[in-house]
């Protein structure tokens, strides 16, 4: 029998109860989702069952350095997803800005941020996306940029639509932008998703709800920022990204 | 079911976030949580020549390849494998231009064919198979043995996984390596590539779960 939303809801409620109970008993808050998260069915056979092996931060390890991305890796308009084709993509034009910071609040400079997303109808320009919503010939949904000296980044794009997926019956992903980020160390690698405030689908989505801690989950939701909206042009959203990292990266100067 | 997202709390400059100087050493900003790469990163992340880390025709180039498999041994056809390593001389400087763009068309040019960048990115194919051509890593300082650092992303992985590829030729260095030495011998083998033919070809399978599960790492 197909899984229903109420099956997923009760699994999510159970996970949340266990988390709240553990917290009440003094367990620390968790920032990242568990790799084993049964309500997200694809995680069931794809998470290691053995504990991760800890490597303590020796600054000589490769992972405490980072791949080099330079200005030849991007072109000036790579951060504008609305100008990659002959015409303008359909949808609500948005500008998304924020800063890339390390856990000490220092800007992470000159690093690569990659973004990808569905179009305004909730369809990816991807052969494997069979959702019967229209493709937009003027939208591929891919952008990239390098962070500035203050860690800032800016993208111009359109607001993506929600889309269905096959995790369970009537599963819909809230609108989101996918982000891939490099930090000042390979260990700071982050792939994540940004959501839009007030989306009614939040509560039903096992991917967002895999982040059980309320304040951690809130950090995945951008803020609407009227000062970033441009007259007669776009609605502005602010979303800062904070990278985790082993303590050994803290002794290095911010780059 | 009620949504439990609490109202937005602005990360105001007063709390230190906007300060370019950073926070006092005792304070820490909570990190942005990880999420899965999902199945549809295909136009965004892979790039032409992403597995061609060695300069074209380099006589010392090696081929590293393998399968990514799940807990039932089934191939994972939508994984993305990232490789990051020192050059043969132990240098960690890398080189820019890993995914060069054409300034006229905005399209990917990919590798320039000459520089060793130390960074590779390959998506698995329908059989869960990936291949990279690179140079043998050098460094780090003894007692650590040379290795290639690997980051695995996939649909179903809410948080990426780190592992390392060590090489069978370095048996002596591997035996002295603190990480390898700390592992149960059966699990240790999952981090050492297997020499295959023709010479210079190495196999490194990544088993996400179950029998022969790869050793995955966390950094503290
Ligand atoms: Fe998506």
Q: How far is CA B36 from CA A82, B97, B135, B150, in A?
A: 25, 26, 30, 17
Contact A116 B156 (CB under 8 A): no
Domain membership flag for residue A248: no
Which ranges constitute the DSSP H helices of chain A?
5-24, 214-218
Residue B8 pLDDT exceeds 70: no
Q: Does A24 touch chain B (CB under 8 A)?
A: no
Q: Does A67 touch chain B (CB under 8 A)?
A: yes
Among the listed residues A118, A133, A218, the one whose alpha carbon sits nearest the alpha carbon of residue A175 = A118
B181 CA: distance to closest CA in chain A (Å): 12
DSSP B157: -
Domain definitions of chain B by residue range: 5-14+44-219
What pLDDT, on a 0 to 100 scale, did the predictor assign at position A158?
Answer: 98
Among positive and negative, which fits the CA dihedral A177, A182, A188, A189? positive
B57 CA: distance to closest CA in chain A (Å): 23
CA angle, A175 then A226 then B13, to 5°: 100
Residue A228 and residue B15 in contact, taking contact as beta carbons nearer than 8 Å: no
**Could you tell me the two tokens for A106?**
């220092």
How many domains does chain A divide into?
A: 1
Confidence of residue B220 (pLDDT cuts 50, 70, 90): confident
Instruction: List all residues of chain B from 94 to 123 with a beta carbon under 8 Å from chain A.
Output: 94-103, 106, 117-119
Which ranges constitute the DSSP H helices of A74-201?
none
Residue that the structure tokens 């149960």 belong to = B184
Q: What is the CA radius of gyration of chain A?
A: 19
The mean pLDDT of A55-59, rounded to a whole number, is 79
Phi/psi of residue B191, each to 5°? -100, -5
Phi/psi of residue A16, each to 5°? -65, -40
Question: What is the per-residue pLDDT across A187-200, written as a single tens digit (0 to 9) for each?
Answer: 999 999 999 999 99
Residue A49 and residue B175 in contact, taking contact as beta carbons nearer than 8 Å: no
What pLDDT, on a 0 to 100 scale, did the predictor assign at position B102?
Answer: 80
What pLDDT, on a 0 to 100 scale, did the predictor assign at position B131?
Answer: 98
Residue B12 pLDDT exceeds 60: no
Residue B157's Cβ-side half-sphere holds a number of Cα atoms within 13 Å equal to 25
What pLDDT, on a 0 to 100 scale, did the predictor assign at position B4?
Answer: 39
Nearest CA in chain B to A65: B92
Question: What is the per-residue pLDDT across A210-230, written as a single tens digit (0 to 9) for each?
Answer: 999 999 999 999 999 999 999
Q: Is the pTM of this model over 0.95?
A: no
Domain membership flag for residue A250: no
What pLDDT, on a 0 to 100 scale, did the predictor assign at position B15?
Answer: 35
Contact B29 A103 (CB under 8 A): yes
What pLDDT, on a 0 to 100 scale, did the predictor assign at position A128?
Answer: 76
The mean pLDDT of A102-115, rounded to a whole number, is 94
DSSP helix/strand/coil, B179: helix
Residue A43's Cβ-side half-sphere holds a number of Cα atoms within 13 Å equal to 20
Q: How far is the CA of B212 from the centre of ligand 1 (A)?
A: 31
**Could you tell me the two tokens for B134?**
């690179």
To which CATH superfamily is domain B5-14+44-219 assigned? Aromatic compound dioxygenase (2.60.130.10)
Instruction: List all residues of chain A from 153 to 172 with a beta carbon under 8 Å from chain B.
Output: none
Set of chain A residues whose Cβ sits within 8 Å of the Cβ of B53? none
Query: Helix %, strand %, coil % for chain A, to 5?
Result: 20, 25, 55
Nearest by CB: A105 against B6, B23, B95: B23
Q: How far is the CA of A118 from the centre of ligand 1 (A)?
A: 7
Range of the domain at A163: 5-242
Domain membership flag for residue A87: yes
Residue B152 and residue B160 in contact, taking contact as beta carbons nearer than 8 Å: yes
DSSP helix/strand/coil, B107: coil
Where residue A186 sits, what CATH number does that domain have?
Answer: 2.60.130.10
Domain membership flag for residue A148: yes
Contact A141 B74 (CB under 8 A): no
Q: How far is the CA of A113 from the centre of ligand 1 (A)?
A: 16
Question: What is the per-residue pLDDT across A152-170, written as a single tens digit (0 to 9) for each?
Answer: 999 999 999 999 999 999 9
Which stretch of A86-100, B13-27, B54-68, B81-95 has the lowest confidence by average pLDDT?
B13-27
Instruction: List all residues of chain B from 11 to 40 with a beta carbon under 8 Å from chain A.
Output: 11, 16-23, 25, 27-40
Which stretch of A16-25, A85-94, B84-93 has the lowest confidence by average pLDDT?
B84-93
Residue A228 and residue A237 in contact, taking contact as beta carbons nearer than 8 Å: yes
**Could you tell me the two tokens for A180?**
């891939």
Q: Does B77 touch chain A (CB under 8 A)?
A: no
What pLDDT, on a 0 to 100 scale, did the predictor assign at position B111?
Answer: 84
Q: Mean of the per-residue pLDDT values for chain B?
A: 87
Share of chain A above pLDDT 70, in %: 96
Q: How far is the CA of A116 from the centre of ligand 1 (A)?
A: 8
Q: What beta strand segments (E) does chain A contain?
A: 53-55, 93-102, 112-116, 142-146, 152-158, 163-165, 171-173, 176-181, 190-195, 223-224, 235-238, 241-243
Phi/psi of residue A113, each to 5°? -120, 125
B220 CA: distance to closest CA in chain A (Å): 4
């Amino acid at each position: 029998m197909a899984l229903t939303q109420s099956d997923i809801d009760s699994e999510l409620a159970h996970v949340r109860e266990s988390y709240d109970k553990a917290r009440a008993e003094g367990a620390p808050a968790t920032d990242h989702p568990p790799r084993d998260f049964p309500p997200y069915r694809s995680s069931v056979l794809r998470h290691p069952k053995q504990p991760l092996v800890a490597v303590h931060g020796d600054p000589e390890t490769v992972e405490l350095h980072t791949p080099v991305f330079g200005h030849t890796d991007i072109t000036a308009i790579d951060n504008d997803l609305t100008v990659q084709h002959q015409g303008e993509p359909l949808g609500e034009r948005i500008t998304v800005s924020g800063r890339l910071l390390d856990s000490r609040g220092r800007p992470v400079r000159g690093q690569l941020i990659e973004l990808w997303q569905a179009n305004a109808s909730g369809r990816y320009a991807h052969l494997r996306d069979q959702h019967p919503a229209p493709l937009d010939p003027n939208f591929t949904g891919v952008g990239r940029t390098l962070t500035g000296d203050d860690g800032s980044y800016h993208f111009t794009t359109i607001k993506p639509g929600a889309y269905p997926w096959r995790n369970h019956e009537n599963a819909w992903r809230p609108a989101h932008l996918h982000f891939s980020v490099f930090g000042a160390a390979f260990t700071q690698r982050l792939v994540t998703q940004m959501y839009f405030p007030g989306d009614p689908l939040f509560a039903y989505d096992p991917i967002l709800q895999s982040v059980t801690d309320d304040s951690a989950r809130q950090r995945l939701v951008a803020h609407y920022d009227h000062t970033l909206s441009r007259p007669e042009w776009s609605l502005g959203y602010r979303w800062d990204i904070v990278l985790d990292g082993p303590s050994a990266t803290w002794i290095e100067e911010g780059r | 079911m009620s949504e439990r997202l609490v109202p937005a709390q602005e990360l105001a400059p007063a709390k230190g976030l906007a300060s370019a100087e950073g926070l006092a050493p005792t304070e820490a900003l909570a990190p942005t949580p990880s999420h899965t790469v999902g199945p549809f990163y295909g136009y965004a992340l892979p790039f032409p020549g992403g597995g061609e880390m060695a300069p074209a025709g380099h006589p010392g180039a090696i081929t590293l390849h393998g399968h990514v498999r799940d807990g039932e041994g089934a191939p994972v056809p939508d994984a993305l494998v990232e490789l990051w390593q020192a050059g043969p001389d132990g240098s960690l400087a890398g080189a820019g231009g890993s995914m060069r763009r054409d300034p006229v068309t905005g399209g990917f040019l990919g590798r320039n064919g000459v520089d060793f960048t130390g960074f590779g990115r390959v998506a698995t194919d329908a059989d869960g198979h990936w291949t990279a051509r690179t140079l043998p890593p050098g460094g780090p300082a003894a007692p650590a043995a040379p290795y290639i650092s690997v980051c695995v992303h996939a649909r179903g992985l809410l948080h990426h996984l780190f592992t390392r590829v060590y090489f069978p030729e370095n048996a002596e260095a591997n035996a002295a390596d603190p990480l390898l030495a700390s592992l149960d011998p059966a699990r240790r083998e999952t981090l050492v590539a297997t020499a295959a033919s023709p010479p210079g070809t190495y196999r490194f399978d990544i088993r996400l779960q179950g029998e022969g599960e790869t050793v995955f790492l966390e950094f503290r």
